[in-house]
Amino acid sequence: MLAELGHFTLILAFAVSLVQATVPLIGAHRRAPGWMAVAEPAANAQFLLVAFSFGALTYAFVTSDFSLSLVTANSHSLKPMLYKVTGVWGNHEGSMLLWVLIVTLFGAAVSWFGGNLPATLKARVLAVQSMIGAAFLAFLLFTSNPFLRLAVPPMDGQDLNPLLQDPGLAFHPPFLYLGYVGLSMSFSFAVAALIEGRVDAAWGRWVRPWTLAAWIFLTIGIALGSWWAYYELGWGGFWFWDPVENASFMPWLVAAALLHSAIVVEKRESLKAWTVLLAIVAFGFSLIGAFITRSGIITSVHAFANDPERGVFLLLILAVFMGGALILFAVRAEAMSSRGVFSMVSRESGLVLNNVLLCVAAFVVFVGTIWPLVAELAFDRKLSVGAPFFNLAFTPFMVALGLVLPFGAMLPWKRARLGRVSRTLVPGAVLALAVLALAWAIQSGRTVLGPFGMALGAWLVAGAAVDLWSRSGRGGDRFGRLRRLPRADWGKAVAHAGLGVAMIGISAMLAWQQEDIRVVQIGDSVELAGYTITLDAVNRVEGPNYISTTGAVTLSRNGHEIGQLRPEKRFYPVARMPTTEAAIDNGFLRDIYVVIGDPQDGGGWAMRSYYKPLANWIWGGTILMALGGALSLSDRRFRVAAGSRKTVAEGVPAE
Amino acid sequence: MRALVLAAALALVATLAPAVQPDEVLADPALESRAREISQGLRCLVCRNENIDDSNAELARDLRLLVRERLTAGDSDTEVVDFITDRYGEYVLLKPTTGGANWLLWGAGPLMLVLGLGIGALFVRRRSQGAASREDALSPEEEQRLQALLKE
């Protein structure tokens, strides 16, 4: 019954979305307040209806209602409660419902926080957002109904893919979708501004928090996914350049570019047309991501069940939204002539360079991802494009970005002198070179990648610190002034430093990882990078819905025990699938990563041990990046702007 | 029932070999590290976008053994890769060749960078030379809007 209600509210939401997509748009065109006012209650109604539907599906999963075919296919009565809930989005239909829920959530959020938007712009934004909602609701209702019943419900379900039964991956999709779909907000603002025919500093200020929020969520989502891959897939890789990973990485890169170009619009009223174009393209990459993940046209490790019909529908959505927005852009581009004048060396030109590098990097990832498809269709060649290509073709752009970033971040607006900025950055450069020399001296005869990456990361971190310090003025209470700097300044420095920290982690791990693969008898030890890893015992343990082979491993150094590790091999009988659960001793400077393998014919167990230097810095860096974004989002100018109109509306005299 | 499931489970677990196994590792560390290097550039044909070094598949193990066999026989790195490419086609290469239409793939980044930098430089140049007085003046529409606002 509840499931039918959920289905019904979904249909209602579709009807509401059609109204919201048209009436406010006409209202804004005719300047009819009543018509425009439809948008806000409609956005709230749409959100509540979809939320109810989502709740109904969650309830079905929680109560293991196996009369729903989706629950049968993706759940099991013995599954822990957490994974019953997260199982809702561990499949195509449910994840699409989550996607739609977030589209409507963002629409509703505009009506909650958009108090300071001009009425026509708000009506148009909500209408465009609702068009996106309508498209995906139609997709859900016509091709991927999550509420299909089974005529004969089975006694129990087929269980969720065991790889997904993991805390890291349980929350990976919601964050990722908040990011993907958050970019729909920037898209809606861009299209609304094009319809409006006005892009100005105020628009830049309104669109930036939404983009920033989307980017933060994407950052967290990607980090969770990579962290999961690190500990779950059993050899400690953290990024595979898989098409689905790339699908989330491209919008991240473009959103990062958009984030920076929107600053130029906000502060200097320049780069307007480019920023609008970026906002459109960023959401385009989100849609391409959805298409890649769900159409099965590019196979990958974690694609959902694939279906050509769905692929065609998604391609249609992509074509309509991108085509429509780009045509509108071409027609209205003239209205967005840039105004600000700036010299060749200035913050503006620095941000242009940032945008070029980020966009070209995203383009390289895009070409690499679709090349196998292009080669097969156009040149009749079946080939692969994998990690070695991306490492070679993508990394230079990030290195270039890292090299110029501290300069760009410190250049003043309009007119700058490179010499002055360079002099301020000398301590940063000295530190980076010292790190380079130190790393070079410690390592023996390996790639230059490690020391160079460390130096680049140090350069970024030091650059961010120098930037903050130089903003604290001269003499007197510098620390006090430092503390009172706008949150946006802190956010910028923290995010940039986070990039540096992540670069340090990545290059250290790639350059200095050590591994040991061998057969270990019970009681035997492995020596690795100064640590002693002893296999004490191997036990069979029964979990709630799996059987586990658990190794008892002692980690010690110089005879002192550091920790006990419990690497597992699990087998999920219902899904008939094994998983490896690596045991990791996390440390600030290194991870020790142990995986238990198979029993060997001659006795003993295969065991793999890894020494991974600075592994946690990778995720520490991404957390810093997200934190920097959040700091910037909480800046006073966004909060004050949000409340300022209320005082005007209530007739309080301005100060 | 439970015993049956357990037996089935153990049978399955026993046949699954994750990535490089201890019995595959070559005695000569230099040779082994070359083998690992090569393996990371070869695709496991039955997997989805995994290299044979990381893959659990039986075929990947066969390929890993083949790579080591060729290396022990004295082949150079390129000879080993050529040997495998001859047998399985270029699909097996995770790093595509630069031959034929693939120049587009490899050239895409640098070409786009040149293009992007060119357009960016042109834009910045125009901005820096633009007559400040004209740029700062209000456009006719803005003039109108200003008048309208002043009348209110």
Q: What is the tens place of the pLDDT at every residue in B39-72?
A: 989 988 877 778 888 887 888 888 999 999 999 9
Q: What is the pLDDT of residue A444?
A: 62
Contact B41 A519 (CB under 8 A): no
Contact B112 A397 (CB under 8 A): no
3-class DSSP assignment, residue A541? strand
A472/chain B closest Cα distance in angstroms? 30
The single residue listed with the structure tokens 């425009």 is A36
User: Are residues B84 and B111 both part of a single domain?
Assistant: no
Q: Which two tokens stand for residue A371?
A: 């090349």
Residues 517-556 of A with CB under 8 A from B: 517-519, 547, 549
Contact B109 A367 (CB under 8 A): yes
Domain containing B120: what range? Answer: 102-151
Q: Average pLDDT of each block of 10 consecutive residues along chain A (655 residues)?
A: 93 96 93 91 96 96 92 88 89 92 95 88 95 95 91 84 80 91 94 90 89 95 90 82 89 95 88 92 92 70 59 90 94 77 86 95 94 88 89 94 92 84 88 86 73 93 92 81 88 95 92 88 90 92 89 92 91 84 91 89 88 93 96 79 42 40
Phi (first) and psi of residue B20, to 5 degrees: -60, 130
d(CA A378, CA A373): 8
DSSP per residue, A367-402: HHHHHHHHHHHHH-------HHHHHHHHHHHHHHHH
Report pTM.
0.90
A404–B contact, CB cutoff 8 A: no
User: Are residues B49 and B83 both part of a single domain?
Assistant: yes
User: Are residues B16 and B80 both part of a single domain?
Assistant: yes
d(CA A62, CA A77): 9
A415/chain B closest Cα distance in angstroms? 9
Domain ranges of chain A: 1-165, 391-512, 514-616
User: Are residues B16 and B70 both part of a single domain?
Assistant: yes
In 3D space, the residue among A184, A181, A49 whose CA is nearest the CA of residue A129 turns out to be: A184
Nearest CA in chain B to A542: B6
Chain B residues in contact with A571 (beta carbon < 8 A): 9, 12-13
Chain B residues in contact with A378 (beta carbon < 8 A): 101
Look up residue A334 and give its DSSP letter: G
Chain A residues in contact with B118 (beta carbon < 8 A): none
A581/chain B closest Cα distance in angstroms? 12
d(CA A509, CA A238): 10
User: Are residues B131 and B74 both part of a single domain?
Assistant: no
Nearest CA in chain B to A365: B109
Contacts of A294 (CB under 8 A, 6+ apart): A92, A303, A304, A306, A307, A310, A311, A314
Going from the C-alpha of A359 to that of each of A285, B28, B131, the distances in angstroms are 12, 45, 30
Cβ contact A518:A526 at 8 Å: yes
Chain B residues in contact with A597 (beta carbon < 8 A): 17-18, 21-22
The single residue listed with the structure tokens 């498209």 is A135
Cβ contact A311:A298 at 8 Å: no
Contact A300 B49 (CB under 8 A): yes
In 3D space, the residue among A389, A340, A462 whose CA is nearest the CA of residue B124 turns out to be: A340
User: Are residues B83 and B125 both part of a single domain?
Assistant: no
In a domain, B66, yes or no: yes
Look up residue A63 and give its DSSP letter: T
The partner residue sitting opposite B124, judged by closest CB among A233, A303, A352, is A352
DSSP bridge pairs for A583: A594
Burial of A339 (0-12, 13-18, 19+ CB in 10 A): middle
d(CA B55, CA B67): 15
Q: Is the dihedral of CA A312, A314, A320, A325 positive or negative?
A: negative
Chain A residues in contact with B134 (beta carbon < 8 A): none
In 3D space, the residue among A484, A343, A341 whose CA is nearest the CA of residue A417 turns out to be: A343
Contact B93 A360 (CB under 8 A): no
DSSP bridge pairs for A554: A534, A564
Q: Is the dihedral of CA A389, A391, A394, A395 positive or negative?
A: negative
A201–B contact, CB cutoff 8 A: no
B25/chain A closest Cα distance in angstroms? 8
> A367: number of CA atoms within 13 Å, CB side?
22
d(CA B127, CA A347): 13
d(CA A71, CA A154): 11
Chain B residues in contact with A396 (beta carbon < 8 A): 109
Cβ contact A456:A396 at 8 Å: no
Angle between helices A243-268 and A172-196 (to 10 degrees): 40
Q: What is the pLDDT of residue A394?
A: 94
A276/chain B closest Cα distance in angstroms? 16
Q: What is the pLDDT of residue A446?
A: 65
Provide the Cα torsion A643, A267, A200, A18; round to 10°: -60
Q: What percent of chain B has pLDDT over 70?
A: 82
Contact B116 A359 (CB under 8 A): yes
**Total domain count, chain B:** 2
Contact A352 B51 (CB under 8 A): no
d(CA A654, CA A641): 14
d(CA A350, CA A492): 15
In a domain, B20, yes or no: yes
A426/chain B closest Cα distance in angstroms? 27
Q: Which two tokens stand for residue B40?
A: 């990371």
Helix (H) or strand (E) holding A86: helix A81-86
A130–B contact, CB cutoff 8 A: no
Residue B119 has pLDDT above 70, yes or no: yes
At A355-390, the pLDDT tens digits run 999 999 999 999 999 998 888 888 888 888 989 999
What is the separation, in whole angstroms, between the first and last Cα of chain B?
A: 84
d(CA B32, CA B17): 19
DSSP per residue, B53-74: TT---HHHHHHHHHHHHHHHTT
Phi (first) and psi of residue B89, to 5 degrees: 85, 170
Chain A residues in contact with B123 (beta carbon < 8 A): 352
d(CA B55, CA B51): 6
In a domain, B42, yes or no: yes
Q: What is the pLDDT of residue A407?
A: 92
Nearest CA in chain B to A378: B101
Q: What is the pLDDT of residue A353?
A: 94
User: Are residues B36 and B88 both part of a single domain?
Assistant: yes
Q: What is the pLDDT of residue A92?
A: 87
B23/chain A closest Cα distance in angstroms? 8
Contact B113 A608 (CB under 8 A): no
Nearest CA in chain B to A383: B91
A606–B contact, CB cutoff 8 A: yes
Nearest CA in chain B to A518: B22
Going from the C-alpha of A417 to that of each of A323, A343, A407, A411, the distances in angstroms are 42, 10, 11, 8
Going from the C-alpha of A170 to that of each of A16, A81, A83, A217, A595, the distances in angstroms are 31, 12, 7, 15, 22
Beta pairing class for A547-557 and A525-528: unpaired
In a domain, B143, yes or no: yes
A578–B contact, CB cutoff 8 A: yes
Rounded to an integer, the average pLDDT of B138-144 is: 76
Phi (first) and psi of residue A610, to 5 degrees: -130, 145
CB pairs under 8 A between A and B: 166
Return the ∠ at Cα A150 (arms to A148 and A156), rounded to 5°. Answer: 115
A390–B contact, CB cutoff 8 A: no
In a domain, B97, yes or no: no
d(CA A346, CA A421): 11
The partner residue sitting opposite A385, judged by closest CB among B48, B96, B127, is B96
User: Are residues B47 and B6 both part of a single domain?
Assistant: yes
DSSP per residue, A277-322: HHHHHHHHHHHHHHHHHHH-SS--TTPPSP-HHHHHHHHHHHHHHH
Contact B94 A303 (CB under 8 A): no
CATH of the domain at B8: 1.10.8.640
d(CA B114, CA B102): 19
- In this structure, how many other beta carbons lie within 10 angstroms of the beta carbon of residue A167? 12
Nearest CA in chain A to B33: A515
User: Are residues B84 and B123 both part of a single domain?
Assistant: no
Look up residue B141 and give its DSSP letter: H
Q: What is the pLDDT of residue A499?
A: 96
Residues 213-232 of A with CB under 8 A from B: none
User: Are residues B113 and B68 both part of a single domain?
Assistant: no
User: Are residues B81 and B126 both part of a single domain?
Assistant: no
A8–B contact, CB cutoff 8 A: no
Residues 38-57 of A with CB under 8 A from B: none
d(CA A455, CA A449): 10
Of the candidates B92, B112, B142, which is a domain's last residue?
Answer: B92
The partner residue sitting opposite A341, judged by closest CB among B12, B95, B132, is B132
Contact B90 A381 (CB under 8 A): yes
d(CA A408, CA A427): 16
DSSP per residue, A240-289: ---HHHHHHHHHHHHHHHHHHHHHHHHHHS-SHHHHHHHHHHHHHHHHHH
Q: Which two tokens stand for residue A214?
A: 């989307």
Contact A389 B96 (CB under 8 A): yes
A569–B contact, CB cutoff 8 A: yes
The partner residue sitting opposite B109, judged by closest CB among A237, A360, A375, is A360
User: Are residues B127 and B69 both part of a single domain?
Assistant: no
Q: What is the pLDDT of residue A445?
A: 59
Cβ contact A293:A244 at 8 Å: yes
Helix (H) or strand (E) holding A54: helix A39-62
3-class DSSP assignment, residue A166? coil
Q: B122-144 burial by CB neighbour count: b if 16+ within 10 A, else e?
A: ebbeebbebeeeeeeeeeeeeee
Cβ contact A371:A241 at 8 Å: no
Beta pairing class for A590-599 and A531-542: unpaired
Q: Please, which pLDDT band fits residue B10 given cuts at 50, 70 and 90? A: very low
Contacts of A502 (CB under 8 A, 6+ apart): A457, A617, A618, A620, A621, A622, A624, A625
Q: What is the pLDDT of residue A601?
A: 83
Q: Which CATH architecture has domain A1-165?
A: Up-down Bundle (1.20)
Chain B residues in contact with A381 (beta carbon < 8 A): 90, 100-101
Contact A363 B17 (CB under 8 A): no
Look up residue A652 and give its DSSP letter: P
The partner residue sitting opposite A393, judged by closest CB among B20, B109, B128, is B109
